[in-house]
Structure 1
């Protein structure tokens, strides 16, 4: 799979400190590439995830609102990005609340080439860690843009700063409480 990707993009993924994944723009949006941060977060090896849609991480959780937001993003060519909390499960079965950010990477012709995503576990984090992640993600996107430009690809959207980090973490804790009570399946 890696051979079809611009080498600069693959190299960039390998060096990023943020958990990243890259999916196909068409079809079932199968994963083409993940980095070490993603593999550490989920517990899955590359051979277990490339070629699969990320929805397998959701297990049996409903995630109705998050799924609707993701579907809307994928179906609406004009929607540049989406950011939502979604319940995911690690390979060992432990749940976590994933703050998922997705954006479209387009060729200069305007055609969506890839779906770029970043993941962050907000389950048991502190506001300062989330703020650090936001800063890392913003830097990642800033550094990714010129790397992609060399391959004729542009980042469709830019990261919107979280308005209330404490509220995001509080929401994640509520979701975890629901998970612990079995209310999310």
Structure 2
């Protein structure tokens, strides 16, 4: 991987500390992963070394439908808005299924070229259980608070919602890219 495709240190450190499962892919070739945080490895059961350089399709399996796959494919290939939400059936390394609710954002550099795709994953398998919903909401509130604080450092106002989480992390990445030029 070329040095120009390295995440800025501050952004990588923030993403690594997040309790939300996060992955970043480059926008070239088959959109291979260049970064995953510990929450991602905990969610999927794969180590960082096992996933770097691979497209996230490895999480799909027999039960993943074409209707779930196509919107992700389209997004990765530049179709549609710069942010989106995608429910998809995924599989952990041990073969167990989980309903993954993926929030994805394209990250553009100062010349407006797409450099990365950042994705946050949420295991929504048990989301119908009230306690799980409360736990997910509390985790989101904590992460949003952190993102909001970083946004204030850049003079931005962030709104609190799951979609905004993906957009907020994407914005921090964009600002970090501009700061390194």
TM-score bracket, normalised by the shorter chain, equals 0.7 to 0.9
- Tell me the C-alpha RMSD between the 2 structures: 2.3
Q: Which residue of 2 aligns with 1:150?
A: 176
Q: 2:138 aligns with which of 132, 145, 151?
A: 132
Aligned to 2:42: 40
Equivalent in the alignment of 2:160:
none
In structure 1, C-alpha distance between the alignment counterparts of 2:63 and 2:2, rounded to whole Å? 31
Q: What's the TM-score once normalised by structure 2's chain length? A: 0.74
Superposed CA deviations along residues 112-165 of structure 1, whole A, max 9, x for unmatched, are 010000001010133323433543564465444346413318xxxxxxxxxxxx
Residue 104 of structure 1 contacts residue 115 of structure 1 at CA under 8 Å; is this kept in 2?
Answer: yes
Q: TM-score, normalised by structure 1?
A: 0.73
Structure 2 segments unaligned to the other structure (5+ residues): 151-168
In structure 1, the partner of 2:14 is 12
Where in structure 2 are the equivalents of 1:20-169 lying within 5 Å?
20-76=22-78, 79-125=81-127, 126-136=132-142, 138-139=144-145, 142=148, 143=150, 144=169, 145-146=171-172, 148-152=174-178
| Distance (whole Å) between structure 1 residues aligned to residue 173 and residue 64 of structure 2 | 37
